[in-house]
Chain A
Amino acid sequence: MITYIKLAWRNLWRNKKRTFISAASVFFAVILSLIMRSMQKGYYDYMIDSSVRLYTGHIQVHGKDFWEKRSLEESMYYDEALIQRLKENKNIFEIIPRLETYSLISFGKVSKVVQVNGISPEVENNITRLKEKIVEGSYLEDNSEGILIAEGLSKLIGVDIGDSVVLYGQGLHGITAAAVVPVIGIVKFAIPDQNKSFTYLSLRYSQELFSAYDRITSLSILLNDADKIESTKSSLKNYFDDSHEIMDWAELSPELVQSIQIDNASGIIMLGILYVVIAFGIFGTIVMMTAERIKEFGILISIGMKKRKLALVTTLETIFVSFIGVAAGALISIPILLYLEKHPIPLTGETADAILAWGFDPIIPFAFYPGMYFAQMWTVLAIAFVSALYPINFIRKLKPSTALRG
């Protein structure tokens, strides 16, 4: 076997320039596609991470049917002791309780329906950095009996810090919820929908206002490692009975999943095209390597080399050409991608402003997964094997007497 490997390896370098060019084409394809994939994956991770952090969490626990009906009737009991126990799970980074409901807000003659989020101020800020979004006034405290209003909403109804608004809605079991609440802060959101409809109360005060004592509508759970979603989900099942539902971010944000899938598919098509080009490059080299050695093959078979062994040598040659490229590409891209992962490319100008306005950082993020490398390896290996079929078939049909005549 060593001799066959040696033979294949040396054959490869009979035409150094050609081998170099084919290996280089694989090399550039690998680098290009790795960077492309890294950028795509980085972008997805960033989107998911932002969405998870800004709102949904990796996993949410609700009362059964809450996600569909969005009513306080599907709220759940807020068990602080349970939360303390859950936090012992190494995978869980933070657990955010919320009581979300809808209410009418009135100031002067203007009324609007708004989303009222009862939050645990400190925990919420740790994750969503809500405090940083305050543009006027101050943030909530645990016992605050004031309200934070989104900046767009404040303009719509014309309130300012120090004014009081009327909240009028329905509490648990249909009990009327009504109060005059002072506006203590204005928060500005990048996402227009949120900016026109969000309000915040302290969790304790909102429970009181909506007669939902000790109740919440969701627990958002952030994990240390997004890959542990499934296992954490199943371990959570031991703590919450059938009157709860446990959903992960993908179930909570199907639109996000879908837009990622579409983008990913287009990326894969691009890669496909790139690899078709590469495949032809490799194939062309193999065809030439075969064509110019017909006599040599004829002699080897004549002196008694089995066709299978000769085919093995040509297959090794194909794999070598491809893998020199893959190995070089993979090796060189490791430091590049690791660097880009740590130092995402900053965006400037109008694009940056637009992205910033949506609440994201103006960067092109990159991801680094060992898995990306395997995908490349398998692709190139597949191309190599398919290309190798050409000389294999050629040798299978080769008659030594005709080959020798050339």
Chain B
Amino acid sequence: MKLIELTEVSKIYDETIVPVRAVDNVNLQIDKGEFTAIVGPSGSGKTTLLNLIGGLDKPTAGKIFVDGTDISTYKEDELINFRLHHIGFVFQAYNLIPVFTAKENVEFIMLLQNISRDEREKRAIDFLDAVGLKDRINNFPTELSGGQQQRVAVARALASTPSFVLADEPTANLDSVSAESLLDLMEELNFKHNMTFIFSTHDEKVIRRAHRIIQLRDGKIEKDITSKSNYPINS
């Protein structure tokens, strides 16, 4: 089932003397249930592409369909609302509100969605349980390890019942053990709940875990490999 479709999407930054084609005429389709990595060297446009898909940025040209609607025409407020209800975000760092506990952080996004208090509380506990943090629900981010913080971010993303989760280098700040276990968690959620994950990464080990690998270079898709058992990427 088609979840995301990009047709001839470009993002050009021309604040500099030479315009930068951060995303250059990309056509891409991502289906429900994918577990996809966006890879490529630094500056190849991974973040830019994810931001476009996530409605954090508008394309210079082209159309972006998410769940069948063209978000490239949305106004700022509509985009915020769209993100709130359709997309779960996990960022590289500073994901959580530092003055809120794990549970409060997960509840917060549901508050933004106007979900009732009881429901918020119940779901927050359920999802924190699902990411393996049942006994850390009342800890503040500073009391959690980097890996645990990323798990809270994943729980928060899932608690908003999004159509898919976008994660820009979610493991970049983690040691390899934590990175592996975060990937395990994401893969498990992908498998059990058919939750779509799209993540960018530099990390060879993380790349190997992806079911589909989209490799960018200079804003263009260089390779697009869909195979769970085949990991021949040499970037």
Contacts and interface: CB of A to CB of B under 8 A. Distances in A.
A327 B122 CA distance: 38
Interface in B91-120: 91, 94-95, 97-100, 104, 107-109, 111-113
Interface string A371-406: 000000000000000000000000000011100110
A302 B89 contact: yes
Contacts of A404: 51, 56, 91
Contact of A303 (B98, B99, B107, B156): B156
Counting chain B CB atoms within 10 Å of each CB, which of A307, A309, A404 scores highest?
A404
Contacts of B100: 7, 10
A256 B123 CA distance: 72
Nearest to B77: A306
Contact of A302 (B47, B56, B81): B56
Contacts of B215: none
Nearest to B91: A299
A302 B108 contact: no
B174 interface: no
A14 B94 CA distance: 15
Contacts of A304: 80-81, 83-85, 109, 112-113, 160
B54 interface: yes
A65 interface: no
A299 B112 contact: no
A115 to B, nearest CB: 75
A119 interface: no
Contacts of B91: 299, 302, 404
A174 B91 CA distance: 102
Interface string A6-37: 01001101100000000000000000000000
Contacts of B94: 295-296, 299
Counting chain B CB atoms within 10 Å of each CB, which of A14, A295, A296, A305 scores highest?
A305
B54 A302 contact: yes
A56 B108 CA distance: 68
A295 B85 CA distance: 21
Interface string B148-168: 000000001000100000000
B57 interface: yes
Nearest to B48: A401
Nearest to A400: B56
A303 B165 CA distance: 11
**Which size class do A's interface residues fall under?**
20 to 34
Interface string A288-328: 00000001100111111111010000000000000000000
A3 interface: yes
Contacts of A11: 99
A305 B95 CA distance: 13
Contacts of A405: 47
Contacts of B81: 304, 306
B173 to A, nearest CB: 13
A302 B57 CA distance: 10
A405 B98 CA distance: 19
Contacts of B97: 7, 296, 300
Nearest to B107: A3
Nearest to A406: B94
Contacts of A302: 54, 56, 83, 89, 91
Contacts of B99: 7, 10-11, 13-14
A401 to B, nearest CB: 4
Contact of B95 (A14, A299, A301): A299
Contact of A3 (B51, B77, B98, B111): B111
Contacts of A7: 97, 99-100
Nearest to A309: B112
Given A400-B56, A401-B51, A301 B98 contact: no
B63 to A, nearest CB: 19
Nearest to A305: B112
A302 B76 CA distance: 11
A11 B98 CA distance: 8
Contacts of A13: 99
27 contacts: A3-B107, A3-B108, A7-B97, A10-B99, A10-B100, A13-B99, A14-B98, A296-B97, A299-B94, A301-B80, A302-B54, A302-B56, A302-B83, A303-B84, A303-B89, A303-B112, A303-B156, A303-B160, A304-B81, A304-B85, A305-B80, A306-B77, A306-B80, A306-B112, A307-B80, A400-B56, A401-B51
Interface of A: 3, 7, 10-11, 13-14, 295-296, 299-307, 309, 399-401, 404-405
Interface of B: 47, 51, 54, 56-57, 77, 80-81, 83-85, 89, 91, 94-95, 97-100, 104, 107-109, 111-113, 156, 160
Given A299-B91, A303-B89, A304-B113, 9 more contacts: A10-B99, A296-B94, A299-B94, A300-B97, A302-B89, A304-B81, A304-B160, A305-B112, A401-B56
Please name the 7 residue pairs, one residue from A and one from B, whose CB atoms are nearest each other, closest first.
A304-B84, A10-B99, A401-B57, A401-B56, A304-B83, A401-B51, A400-B56
